[in-house]
Amino acid sequence: MKNVIDFLNDLVANNNKEWFDKNRARYKEVQSSFNSFTESLIKGIASFDPALSNLGVKDCTYRIYRDIRFSKDKTPYKNHMGAFIAPKGKCGGFAGYYFHIEGNGADYIGSHLLSSGVYRPLPVVIKSIREEIMLNGGEFVKAIDSAKGFSIERIDMLKRVPAGFPSDSEYADLFRLKDYFLSREISEDFLTDKNLLENCVAEFKKTYEFNRILNKAIEYAYEEEGN
């Protein structure tokens, strides 16, 4: 991953079309390295989460080109690369496993990252997740605690427990979440370790039960919505 990190660091300082065009061949090499790793990562995660066995690289990766039509930031390229490995792919609406690298100073997330869960779920989905926690909160908390080294993100929360959920519950703070994902920052040393793939698979395996519970609730929400 050293070539990916170096390229993204340079892109942060040179985020313009002229520089990118001159370095397009280099980007293609970086993209190939990242995609090759993603392919192996999909297989590694699918070894313990069989719902991911039919995914391809394109199902999980993103274009480097930014959509700047409605953004005040007109820099044309993303200063990060990521892969979201989830049932039905990155746009399927299910909880999954996210691998993220960003250039120094990119300030997108603020670090390299491993994360598991669901981000910005639909209202019908988040309601189903909260109902699952209300019914089986102990199981959910156990899944969070089992993911050693990860922590649940609490940056964006409702000020109050949403209507329909008990404000005096021991899980009240979990009802207030708008997103449900675990994350852990990783270092450049982690990314350049020769055992990166094995280490990522081992880390993500800790979060399997968390995603399993989320996806059970998500599947139920989509089934209900379809009826």
Question: For the sheet containing 80-85, what is the strand order?
Answer: 80-85, 96-102, 112-118, 180-186, 151-152
Residue in the structure block whose two tokens are 């019914």? 135
> Are the CB atoms for 110 and 88 separated by under 8 Å?
no
What mean pLDDT do residues 152-175 have? 95
pLDDT at residue 156, as a whole number? 85
**179 vs 226 pLDDT, higher one:** 179
Q: What pTM was computed for the model?
A: 0.95
> Is the pLDDT assigned to residue 88 strictly greater than 90?
yes
Domain containing residue 113: CATH number: 3.30.930
- Kindly state the DSSP code that residue 162 receives in the 8-state scheme: P
Express each pLDDT in 50-71 by its tens digit.
999 899 999 999 999 998 888 8
C-alpha 22/C-alpha 83 separation (Å) is 26
> Are the CB atoms for 184 and 98 separated by under 8 Å?
no
**Total structural domains in the chain?**
1
**Phi (first) and psi of residue 80, to 5 degrees:** -145, 165
Q: What is the domain range of residue 157?
A: 2-226
Residue 155 CB-half CA count within 13 A = 9
Listed residue (199, 188, 186) closest to 9, CA to CA: 188
Residue ranges of alpha helices (H) inside 57-122 are: 57-60
> Is the pLDDT assigned to residue 74 strictly greater than 70?
yes
Share of the chain above pLDDT 70, in %: 100
> Is the pLDDT assigned to residue 226 strictly greater than 90?
no
> Is the pLDDT assigned to residue 163 strictly greater than 60?
yes
> Is the pLDDT assigned to residue 151 strictly greater than 80?
yes
pLDDT at residue 107, as a whole number? 80
What mean pLDDT do residues 116-136 have? 96
